[in-house]
Amino acid sequence: MSAAHDDHHGNTEPHSTFSGYMTGFVLSIILTAIPFWLVMAKVIADRNTAVLVLGAFAVVQIVVHMVYFLHMNGKVEGGWTLLSTIFTVVFVAIAIAGTLWVMFHMNTNMMPEHPTLPVVAPAPT
């Protein structure tokens, strides 16, 4: 029976353990509670700093989920899962950045302010 148990040691498939799931769960709770406290206690006064800090916590939590729950690392499936995830993240970042760039420039170029136009008073009723 021990030979059947040892068959999977050369395997690169993810191995799920209770302690691995609990570690991921505890990290997820912590990475949710800290940003919640930061916002509710108004610890960070500057909005831009708060967005950056909360965004960093979100990225770390995504990585925790990918490692502990999705079991993604460089060894699974010869690294193709991790490589495809990196490609997807880069592609989505380019698509979002391009969309925001186009929307910003369309707003700037298509919606000019007209300071020389006179203000028309409403017609008497």
Give 35-50 pLDDT, tens digit per residue: 999 999 999 999 999 9
pLDDT of amino acid 74: 73
| Nearest-angstrom CA–CA distance, 107 and 109 | 6
45-96 pLDDT tens trace? 999 999 999 999 999 998 899 889 888 877 777 778 878 888 988 999 999 9
Structural tokens at position 114: 């007209």
What average pLDDT does the structure give for the chain? 83
pLDDT of amino acid 18: 92
Q: For 111-117, which contacts have Cβ atoms below 8 Å and span 24 or more sequence positions? A: none
